[in-house]
Amino acid sequence: MDDTGIPYTVGDYKIEKTIPEQIRVLFNLAVYTGLRKSELLALTWSDIDFDRDLLQVSKAVTVVDGTQICKVPKTRASNRTVSILHFLTLHLHKLQVQQTEYRLKWGP
């Protein structure tokens, strides 16, 4: 099944594909904001202003000696606030609620 909810069918063979919501939101953030991969991966819930549909970009992920670390962006211009579409804010909030429920159920 794709995003339309219609399963792929070839003869008797049927394929149903679904994309996890986290990946779908990450992809939409990339497309609609133009953030770099390292900036997307460094985002935390505190970077999102749910009331004003804004993202604060203040860090990036990089790999040093095989270990991922968060660092400040290379230039001052990379440290910025980005507007996001309201539908993305709603999906992000939904993911935050799901993550909170999961943590309460299973622990940190």
Domain ranges of the chain: 8-103
**Residue 2, pLDDT above cutoff 80:** no
For the full predicted model, state whether its pTM sits above 0.85. Answer: no
Q: Is the pLDDT of residue 4 over 80?
A: no
**CA-closest candidate to residue 53, choices 29, 21, 73, 37:** 29
Q: Which residues of 52-91 are buried (b: 16+ CB within 10 A; e: fewer)?
A: ebebebbbbbeeeeeeeeeeebeeeeeeeebebeeebbeb
Using pLDDT thresholds of 50, 70 and 90, give the confidence band for residue 69: very high
Residue 94 or residue 12, greater confidence: 94
Asked whether 33 and 84 are in contact (CB, 8 A), the reply is yes
64 token code pair: 């040093």
Which DSSP state fits 75?
Answer: S
Per CATH, the number for 8-103 is 1.10.443.10
